[in-house]
Structure 1
Amino acid sequence: MNTQASRRRALAGLAAAVLPATLSLSPARAFAQAWPSRPIRLVVPTPPGSSVDVAARLIAEGLRGKLGGATVLVENKPGAGGTIAAADVARSAPDGHSLFVGFNGPLATAEHVFPRLPYKPLESFAPIIATVSQPHVLVVNAAHPARTLREFVAGVKAAPGKANYASVGNASASHLTMELFKSAAGLFIVHIPYNGGPAATQGLIAGDVDALFTAYVNVQGPVSAGRLRVLALAEKKRSPRLPEVPTFAEQGVPQVDAPLWNAIVAPAGTPAEIVGKLNAAIDAVLAEPAVREKLAGGGMDVIGGRPELLAEMMRTESAKWLPVVRRLGIKPD
């Protein structure tokens, strides 16, 4: 009897020790299993019709089917280089119902440019997935005498201070990439910031500026019409979309490697199970042939992959651009 009583007391003690831990895990598991319990927001930092917006809406449409008919809404919040939308999501509840559809700027370089940024890209977000990339090119007006990158460099060096370039805004990717190019090639080119891509492209077409770094999709029409000329691709390898365009590395400036990518993140602290479900669902959407075809029509190529891939991309981009921003003392407008 004494032995049986001792065993009962031991089992009771073990149950008492294990039960609180079990109970502490149950709410989190139940929470993840019940997700989504309300509409999911995809917060986009650009206006409707932009390439980021187009990709987000295709993903939102596909997610509804992958998540059992869940409501997925696209919410556009442009401004401040994407940091307004990013801050909105960073301060949202980490419950998988608010996601940020970002790009290089707000997810990698903004913290080096904005001294009072209300979030930290590498700390405030849980990476979910890298979604798409776009060819990043240097273009000039078709009337420009340079037909190659080497000719462009030689022309600028022959008349220092006379050349200028457009950007889609101060501290934007088009601004930072040109400054990286200038530093690598030893060029003096005057910066003329425009308010967005369309205005910068029109300035180049009109001949008001000499060059522009931009996503190829933004200038595909004028290039096809013979009004603009592509000189180089700012990536490590040639793009299947532009097989005839050589990279900067091929033309003697390997330092200019500035791919453009989009990604989706959640607020830091979002349960890993929800992050995993979102990653699998979005990756499945991006794998659908119809989605790939529509993205390709908009000048975008699918990336996809695990959250760890995006986390590494964000770390690498942040480290690459920090010295560029510091050396140039680039500040927001």
Structure 2
Amino acid sequence: MTAPDEQSRVSSWRLLLGNPVTLASAVALGAVVIIALFAHWLIPYGVNDIDVPNALRPPGGAHWFGTDELGRDVLSRVLVAIQASMRVAVISVAFAVVVGVTIGVLAGYLGGWLDTVFMRIVDVMFAFPVLLLALAVVAILGPGVTTTILAIGIVYTPIFARVSRASTLSVRVEPYVAVSRTMGAGNVYILTRHVLPNIAGPLIVQTSLSLAFAILSEAALSFLGLGIQPPQPSLGRMIFDSQGFVTLAWWMAVFPGAAIFVIVLAFNLLGDGLRDVLDPKQRTLAEARRTGATT
């Protein structure tokens, strides 16, 4: 017979693979990851190779995405810009996960004055709109890749703090946690063995959604000239540079914009699919829908 945990894993994979939308988003993100890892080997031209005689060439055989006002290949710049955006998004969200989960788990598990202090700080951060808070950080530290990563990481830290705290509050009152305490288990053991594994589901879903919004945040900061700086190409900066050529060269804005749209949509759809598998209520509904569709 199949063990319960193994049956659960098999059922989870069946739900994920049985959802065509989630599967398509995973494939799209797989392609994005490949681009992010091997962009410099995939580009047909140098990202800053200027070819003025071929400026504003429409998409064609030599330049699949056309060229910009300086004759630079738009495809090459989009691929390297995707690499830069993904690097910023992954590192900034990883920062937010580490710091936010640490704050949330300690506040939820230990409670008391620590919970009060941490959550008041989180509440203050939530009082500011996301982009405004990121702009404030960049304005203080100056534009650049490192500052962009730090700004986005700070912005999304309170989100992970809230999610992890709420999940920890529900886990810490479970019977198996009480049993571990009576058997003399320390807080570190309980946190690593019981709390963190049981709050991983919501955190995984939140990570997928935060990566989508981190891509948008990086594009917005770069569009405003506060994110990734030239000559490094960025999707937001490419859209900004295309403003004066909208009627002459639509491809300069369409292809970077399409890249942002596809990446953000794929992360959001993958997050929805993961939620259907990892959230017990959503999983029950998803299994019911799948069973109903096959009968």
Considering the TM-score relative to the shorter chain, is it more than 0.5? no
Q: Which structure has the highest helix share of the two?
A: 2
For normalisation by structure 1, the TM-score amounts to 0.23
| Structure of greater Rg | 1
Q: Which structure has the highest strand share of the two?
A: 1
